[in-house]
Amino acid sequence: MLACSLAPGEQKNRQDELSELSRQAIARQSTADGVLLRFTASPEMNTRLHDVAAAEARCCPLLDISVHAAGEMLELRVSGASEAQPIIKLMFQSPDAA
């Protein structure tokens, strides 16, 4: 069973935060086991992405979330087992799909 350790109000706040972050992505790519979002690199975005990855690791251990520098871009990779795919799609959906 998949479960989030956040209280309902915290879940809403986190989803709002992730939605805002997704809107700032300049590219989004589905992968075999999740999603890859690309952002323009800046110290602020680097800190924000690492903070999100750390926060999600604490409350959602079924996801593998990592941040990578790729030239002038930052990549947020989110992956998980097949049962985690609906959660990944919901959390990091394209803003126009929301």
Residue type, 67: V
Digit-coded pLDDT (tens) for 44-92: 999 999 999 998 888 888 889 999 999 999 999 999 999 888 888 888 7
pTM > 0.85: yes or no? no
CA distances 77 to 9, 34, 65, Å, are 25, 8, 6
Q: In the chain, where are the structural domains located?
A: 11-18+32-97
Instruction: Could you please state the CATH topology (level 3) that the domain comprising 11-18+32-97 is classified under.
Output: TATA-Binding Protein (3.30.310)
3-state secondary structure of 33: coil
